[in-house]
Each structure stands twice: as structure tokens, then as C-alpha cells.
């Protein structure tokens, strides 16, 4: 328990899951949630959905609900390589806007596919350098996972998920009506025990893992999962949302880094992170992407990818595949290692070796006052609390980018350590509490 828990206001007694369900006709959870929101707003501690007043750069300005404007150093966005505001990317997006207009205004299967979409597909295939493969574009990364999983497996099949899988993979599995099985996070021995209990000789099995997990910043054990999967005839999907364009010698993700790129059956890319845009795609054998194009409901019944954004994505991919991307990949890893060195020994940063650094503070009840505190200290951060993470494992997520300066990293680390002192989760304080 945090040493300042007794000083916290009443609204910190609530956690997100308390407003998720309600029995009966009175919509109690909606009433309770809005009452909680009013209390947080009245205390001027509502740090959510705050309008940003410019691009997602390391330096950002935001406007609080009260109208107060703050200048912050951002560790909350995953614009890892800075491509969302890169002048060449913006120029390419503006050119596509002039040619194709604002939106696709149609399903990609019917009338929403433009020539620029086909060009992006070609560039992605060229980037991976794997002939015989295809691309299925989606208007969001969430929609890509949802559509791919639910169209590939069906009732009578199995989806085997890492326990820390992203919500989009879980929701895709639920929508598919396949049987869902879970294995312990990155535990390949447990995965094999799970697979051994399934009817793997007569049923389709899809195993889902991730390149980099966004809550802990750790890397999926893709190589070992592929090895076990082949033994049981299972298909492997790797969600490279937080690792594509960054991990691997050529930026082709953790699958490349671990030497199994050609053995993975499906790769999911998300365009809202290192690409700096929005959308997502499946990269897989062309026969499979042709099928998914028609049978993924989140694609068939959604508007196609914004053509202007698509133009920007093409340029971002071009830059990432060249010297610019190589330099940024080195810089982001160097920045992440530097930030870890500043925090190590002061706060619990888990076992991350990636550009996502968790600062685990534990007690979810201090999340709201700490988010407010950090903003007022000049930091924009991303907090995760139960049930998004296990109970008493709440954390600040720091997204380090290639564009952060050493001075910004220093200020970020100083602000985090100051918050840890204020809220009582410095490692030395925790050690003293255990001794007591």
C-alpha cells in the first residue's frame, strides 16, 4: 500500500473495472462512472482525452479541461521514429490529398481501393523482400487483428493466446467462435503442454504472439514459439505493432531479429506507431491475403484506408528502409538504453530492453493523482492500471523515441524519480517498507 493512500481523495477508491458491468435495467454502471468523472473533473485532476495543440513531437503543448495550457515533454506517444511530422512524409500526404481527396468513402472490396493503396501494398512486399506474399490493408491496427483472427479460425478451431495478448487479438478470437486457450507469458514449455492437449491432428490452431509487448516492453519468444508450433502443425501470427521498422537489422521486426521471418505465417503491422500514421495490415502468403480481403468483417464493412495518410505511409516506409531508418534505429535503442541507465536502481523498470520502459509503481489508486502530478511536472506519460495489467502492477509507460534529446531524457528521468519520491515507490522506500 502506498504510504500516501490515507491522503488520497474518495474517487481514487474506484478502478476502471468497477464500471464495466451492471446487472438490471437501471444502468447503474453508467451513472456511477459519470459521477466518478464529475468528481475527478471537479478536483481538476482529469488528465484523459486532453487536446494536444500540435504534432506528436517530443515537446508538446496540451490544454487541460480547465483551459490551462501546459508545455510538456512527451513520453506518451509511440511516434517512435518521428515520421508523423517528418517534412517529406507530410509533403507526400499533401500530394496524395490533392489527387485522391480526403477519404476513400467506400469499402476496399467494393469501391474504396485506390491506386495509391496498391502502391503501398507493393512497397510493403518489397520491404520484406519475400516473393509470393501479399498484403491486406485495414483502416486500423485493431481492425487488422480483429479481422485476420476471426476470418482465419472458426467454430471447432483453436486460438492459442499469450496471456498478455493485446485486446484486439482477444476480441478477434472471441468473434471467431473458436475455442480460446491461454499460455503463460512467453512460456514456451507451457505452450507445448497446452498444444499437446488439443486435437491438433484434426483442428486448425492459430498461435498469437507479439514482437514487443506494450505493457512490459519485453520481446516475444518468437523463434521458440515457431519451433513448437511446427511440431503441432499450428499457424503462427506475430503482431509486430511496436517493433516493425525498429527491430531487426533491416527493421523487419522481431521475427527478422530472431531469424524466423520466413517461418512465421502471418505478420500484423500497425501504421500508427513507427510509421507515424494510422491503419494496419496483414503480411502473409498471397493466397491468404486474397482470402482475408473478402472475409475479414472489419475490412469488408469498414471504409478503406485514408488515401492521404496512405501517401505519407509510403514515404515513411521509403525513409525507414534507407539510411534515415538505419540511423533512427540506432538512435532509438541508444536513447532507450540511456533512459534505463538513468532510472535503474531508483524505480522498478521490469525487464524491458526495448524502447518501451515500464515504471511499475503498483497501487492503482494513486494513478490519477500521479498522472496529474507528472503533467504539472512537465511530463506527458501513459499510465496503465488494473485490469489492463495485473492488480497492484500499475505502471507508467515511457515510450522513448529516436527524436528525444539527452536533455529531454534527463528531465524525464528526473521527473519520474521525483514522482517516485512523492508517492513512495522508490526502490529504497519499498525496501524499508518490507523491513518494517
CB 266 within 8 A of CB 276: no
Could you tell me which of 44, 89, 418, 117 has the C-alpha nearest to residue 281?
117
Q: Dihedrals φ, ψ of 304, to 5°? A: -65, 165
The reply to whether 48 and 107 lie within a common domain is no
Helix (H, G, I), strand (E, B) or coil at 368: helix
Q: What is the Cα–Cα distance from 379 to 75, expressed in whole angstroms? A: 7
Q: Quick check: 298 pLDDT over 70?
A: yes
Task: Tell me, yes or no, whether 179 and 315 share the same domain.
Answer: yes
| E strand spans, 170-320 | 179-183, 205-210, 235-239, 266-270, 280-285
Note whether 348 and 254 are same-domain residues.
no
Q: At which of 301, 320, 339 does a domain end?
A: 320
**If you count them, how many residues does the chain have?**
436
pLDDT in tens, 102-138: 999 999 999 999 999 999 999 999 999 999 999 999 9
Coil vs helix vs strand at 256: helix
Q: What is the pLDDT of residue 6?
A: 46
Residue 3 confidence class, pLDDT cut points 50, 70, 90: very low
Report residue 265 as a C-alpha cell. Answer: 505465417
Q: Is 91 strand, coil or helix?
A: helix
> At which of 303, 320, 337 does a domain end?
320
Spatial CB neighbours of 364, under 8 Å, sequence gap ≥ 6:
15, 385, 386, 391, 392, 394
For the domain that residue 154 is a member of, what is the CATH number?
A: 3.40.640.10
pLDDT-derived band at 8 (thresholds 50, 70, 90) equals low
Last residue of a domain, one of 320, 348, 369: 320
Q: Which residue segment(s) compose the domain that 128 sits in?
A: 85-320
Confirm if 327 and 397 have CB atoms less than 8 A apart: no
Indicate if 134 and 276 belong to the same structural domain.
yes
Q: Do residues 155 and 286 share a domain? A: yes
Does a structural domain hold residue 35?
Answer: no
Residues 6+ positions from 70 with CB-CB distance below 8 Å: 61, 62, 63, 64, 375, 376, 378
For the chain, the domain total comes to 2
For residue 13, is it within any domain? no
Is residue 30 in some structural domain? no
Whether the CB-CB separation of 366 and 382 falls below 8 Å is answered with no
In a domain, 22, yes or no: no
Q: Are 308 and 260 in the same domain? A: yes
Residue 7 has pLDDT above 80, yes or no: no
| Phi, psi of 27, rounded to the nearest 5 degrees | 55, 45
DSSP three-state, residue 379: strand
- Tell me the percentage of the chain whose pLDDT exceeds 70: 93
Is residue 24 in a domain?
A: no
Give residue-wise pLDDT tens across range 54-95: 999 999 999 998 899 999 999 999 999 999 999 999 999 999
* CA–CA dist 51, 55 (Å, integer): 11
Identify whether 79 is part of a domain. Answer: no
307: three-class secondary structure by DSSP: helix
Residue 294 sits in the same domain as residue 341:
no
pLDDT of residue 55: 94
Task: Locate 323 and state its grid cell.
Answer: 539510411
Residue 292 CA to residue 307 CA, distance in Å, equals 21
Same domain, 243 and 351: no
* Whether 45 and 96 share a structural domain: no
Amino acid at each position: 500500500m502506498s504510504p500516501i493512500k490515507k491522503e488520497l481523495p474518495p474517487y481514487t477508491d474506484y478502478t476502471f473495472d468497477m464500471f464495466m458491468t451492471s446487472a438490471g435495467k437501471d444502468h447503474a454502471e453508467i451513472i456511477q462512472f459519470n459521477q466518478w468523472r464529475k468528481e475527478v473533473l471537479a478536483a481538476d485532476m482529469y488528465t484523459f482525452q486532453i487536446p494536444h495543440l500540435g504534432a506528436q513531437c517530443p515537446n508538446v503543448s496540451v490544454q487541460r479541461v480547465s483551459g490551462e495550457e501546459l508545455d510538456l515533454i512527451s513520453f506518451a506517444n509511440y511516434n517512435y521514429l518521428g515520421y508523423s511530422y517528418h517534412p517529406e512524409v507530410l509533403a507526400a500526404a499533401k500530394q496524395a490529398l490533392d489527387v485522391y481527396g480526403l477519404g476513400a468513402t467506400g469499402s476496399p472490396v467494393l469501391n474504396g481501393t485506390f491506386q495509391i493503396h496498391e502502391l503501398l501494398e507493393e512497397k510493403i512486399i518489397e520491404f520484406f523482400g519475400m516473393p509470393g506474399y501479399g498484403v491486406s490493408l485495414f483502416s486500423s491496427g485493431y481492425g487488422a487483428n480483429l479481422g485476420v483472427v476471426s476470418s482465419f479460425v472458426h467454430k471447432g478451431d483453436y486460438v492459442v493466446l499469450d496471456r498478455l495478448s493485446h485486446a484486439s487479438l482477444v476480441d478477434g478470437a472471441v468473434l471467431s467462435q473458436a475455442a480460446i486457450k491461454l499460455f503463460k507469458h512467453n512460456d514456451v514449455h507451457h505452450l507445448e503442454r497446452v498444444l499437446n492437449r488439443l486435437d491438433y491432428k484434426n483442428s486448425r490452431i492459430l498461435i498469437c504472439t507479439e514482437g514487443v509487448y506494450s505493457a512490459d516492453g519485453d520481446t516475444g519468444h518468437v523463434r521458440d514459439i515457431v519451433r513448437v508450433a511446427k511440431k503441432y502443425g499450428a499457424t503462427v501470427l506475430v503482431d509486430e505493432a511496436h517493433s516493425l521498422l525498429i527491430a531487426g537489422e533491416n527493421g523487419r521486426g522481431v521475427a527478422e531479429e530472431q531469424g524466423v521471418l520466413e517461418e512465421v505465417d502471418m505478420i500484423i503491422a500497425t501504421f500508427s506507431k513507427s510509421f507515424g500514421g494510422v491503419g494496419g495490415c496483414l503480411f502473409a502468403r498471397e493466397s491468404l491475403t486474397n482470402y482475408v480481403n473478402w472475409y475479414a468483417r472489419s475490412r469488408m464493412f469498414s471504409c478503406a484506408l485514408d488515401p492521404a495518410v496512405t501517401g505519407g505511409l509510403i514515404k515513411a516506409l521509403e525513409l525507414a528502409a534507407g539510411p534515415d531508418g538505419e540511423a533512427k534505429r540506432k538512435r532509438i535503442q541508444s536513447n532507450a538504453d540511456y533512459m534505463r541507465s538513468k532510472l535503474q536502481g531508483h524505480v522498478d523498470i521490469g525487464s524491458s530492453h526495448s524502447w518501451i520502459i515500464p515504471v511499475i509503481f503498483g497501487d492503482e489508486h494513486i494513478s490519477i493523482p500521479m498522472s496529474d502530478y507528472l503533467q504539472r511536472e512537465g511530463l506527458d506519460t501513459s499510465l496503465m492500471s488494473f485490469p489492463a495489467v495485473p492488480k497492484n502492477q500499475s505502471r507508467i509507460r515511457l515510450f522513448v523515441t529516436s527524436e528525444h534529446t539527452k536533455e529531454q531524457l534527463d528531465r524525464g528521468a528526473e521527473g519520474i524519480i521525483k514522482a517516485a519520491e512523492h508517492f513512495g515507490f522508490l526502490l529504497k522506500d519499498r525496501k524499508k517498507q518490507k523491513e518494517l
